[in-house]
Amino acid sequence: MSSTVIYSHPVCLEHDTGEFHPECADRLRAIAHILDREEFMYVPREEAPAATVEQILRAHSRVHFDNVMGAIPDDGCVELDGDTFVSPKSGDAALRSAGAACAAVDEVATGRSRNAFVATRPPGHHAEREAVMGFCLFSNAAIAALHARHAHGFKSVAVIDFDVHHGNGTQQVLWDQPGTFYASSHQADAFPYTGLAEETGGPGGAVVVNVPLPAGTGSEPFRAAYVETILPRLRAFAPDFVILSAGFDAHAADPMAHFRLQVADFEWVTRELLAVARETAGRRVVSLLEGGYETRALAACVAAHIRVLMEG
């Protein structure tokens, strides 16, 4: 068994969002560059397969799937909403991102690796059942969670989202899904303006834990949100599979929001979440790249995140 495996695909570099768009291929190039370091030399790499329609339709309607794939242009860049753009390779990239999430679940569920990191784009946590949003086409974390439940029979699957933006799409897709858990720490009064503490899940569906934090949040209140609220609720849920929506845009250098976290904070939260996975989930963790738009900070955060994953 390897400790960690990394999933990616070259087509994710060809998802062209247009000039000056923050969610760009340079994000993956920065990650790939730092993962070329000697310390990561022996971490296995896998090419992401395309998701099946069945995997996508656990989280999205057929209408949504057809609308996304039907919007992919033969040439140029097409705006689907004010933030979300597609180009000729975007459909393949989106299928590979969702497929990587499911393949990573398969890898970890069958015991071939203890955990996995998925370095793909487009990200997913804003995509709702019937809508693209916030750079996202398909809800990768929710697709992974439902794949873990339906394909592998896990009874209690948790998604923890430490992106600076609330994962409205993941929450919406999982809202009425029994045996699931969604927790998010995020900036209050920031896009997508969801994730109130009062949003706690539907009857018989997901357990939802939202901890909105003010602009300017740094290490101490961020860590307190986990120690006082998210980690106790997660332990009470006792997940048998853990999925991380790993957004790194809460870093102080990131231009997309106003948290003041440092690399050490992402290292800390990763270690704390892996501790829960050791206690209840047989160390089974799949981590999916979400946000992070200042490429040097993103690469440093991902490197720290993967180092902790490699510890298992």
Distances (CA, A) of 241 to 24, 106, 125, 179, 224: 30, 11, 18, 11, 24
List CB contacts of 292: < 8 A, sequence separation 6 or more.
27, 247, 248, 249, 251, 254, 298, 301, 302
Instruction: Please choose, from the candidates 212, 209, 226, the residue with its C-alpha nearest in 3D space to the C-alpha of residue 270.
Output: 226
3-state secondary structure (DSSP) of residue 280: helix
Instruction: Please choose, from the candidates 265, 261, 239, 243, the residue with its C-alpha nearest in 3D space to the C-alpha of residue 252.
Output: 261
Per the CB < 8 A criterion, the answer to whether 126 and 192 are in contact is yes
Is residue 150 among the annotated active site residues? no
Pairing state between β 85-86 and 78-79: antiparallel
Alpha carbon distance 24, 3 (integer Å):
29
Q: What is the CA radius of gyration of the chain?
A: 17
Q: Helical H runs in 114-167?
A: 140-152
Catalytic entry in 125, 126, 147, 251: 126
Strand partners, 115: 4, 285
3-state secondary structure (DSSP) of residue 46: strand
Tokens 């009064």 appear where? 189
Q: What amino acid positions are annotated as catalytic residues?
A: 126
